[in-house]
Amino acid sequence: MPLQNRSSKTRRRTILLVIIMVLIVTIVAVLAAVLLANETKETSTQLLQWKGRGTTKNLQEVILGRCYNYITTVNPELRDKDCQNIWETMQKAFIYKNPCNITTEDYQPLLDLTSHPIPCNKSLFWSKTNDLVHRYTKTSHNFLTLEDTLLGYMADGVSWCGNPSSPGINYESCPKWSECESNPSSVYWKMASKMFAEAACGVVQVMLNGSIEAGAFRSNSIFGSIEIFNLDPDKVSTVQIWLMQNIGGPQNCFLSVNYMQLQSYLHNPVIFKFCTSLCLCNPTEAQQI
């Protein structure tokens, strides 16, 4: 009997020790989980700080709404485009990524989904004439700017960028173009501009600002550094320059600084064949063309 009692007590002690060990392990696991959760929560709120405005609120709804409007109202010929797929592809290009490390490969799938033909003699490029050129195209409907294509229409005036940590999108701030070259907006618009220029054919129009002291043509602009070099000389027959000037300003197109530099670009047969120029001084004259 004494042996049986000792054996029974030993078993009870063993069971008690096991229970205590299980409780200790459980408590340790719970504490570790709480600490990890707090650390993750703190990390998720550590957004990179930039000088530009953050991602547009309700970005998904904005992009989807514009996409559906474009393929149903603006250009019904593109009604077979999959807007949901377009949004998801666009989001993959920047979400959870450092906004200074975006590449052309990130956006290439999006460009493949959104590309569409541009009618010949309809392409209108611009530089420093944003407000005027789009007021003109909205009233005349004779030409198309980049912002009148699906890719440009969806993103016009919109801001977006990712963040390496949760939630993956930075709604507080995004890098300005001057902060880092490979930011989501810069890469997007450079690729879109290149695609728009490559699609141009026939007579091409360019609206420049002749009232800028530095000159109407700027080699570091999107037009001067990307679009002008991607016009296909086998497809483009003529380039017409619209030099827009303030009312009361100089009336001679050739007085604009850097105009001769532009001419040297345009007459290079590697770029395209030849150009003509129109000197326009106000929006009324532009709408009469």
Distance CA 12, CA 15 (A): 5
- Single-letter code of the amino acid located at 254: F
Cα(180)–Cα(133) distance, integer angstroms: 28
- Strands lying side by side in the sheet with 124-127: 124-127, 202-209, 236-244, 275-280
Helix (H, G, I), strand (E, B) or coil at 137: helix
Give catalytic status of residue 161 as yes or no.
no
Partners of 240 in beta bridges: 205, 276
Q: Pinpoint the alpha helices (H) of 93-220.
A: 104-114, 130-140, 150-155, 184-199
**For the CA atoms of 132, 133, 139, 141, what is the dihedral angle to 10 degrees?**
170
Q: How far apart are CA 230 and CA 103, in angstroms?
A: 19
For residue 117, what is the DSSP state?
A: -
Distance from first CA to last CA of the chain, Å, rounded? 116
67 carries an active-site annotation: no
Which 3 state secondary structure label does DSSP give 7? helix
In the chain, what are the helix, strand and coil shares in percent, each to the nearest 5? 50, 10, 40
Task: Please tell me whether the peptide bond between 167 and the residue prior to it is cis, using omega within 30 degrees of 0.
Answer: yes
Name residue 277's beta-bridge partners.
Answer: 241
Token code pair at residue 227? 């679009």
Catalytic residue among 67, 83, 161, 201: 201
Q: Which of 100, 120, 180, 275 is catalytic?
A: 120
What are 197's two structure tokens? 């220029």
Q: What residues act catalytically? A: 120, 201
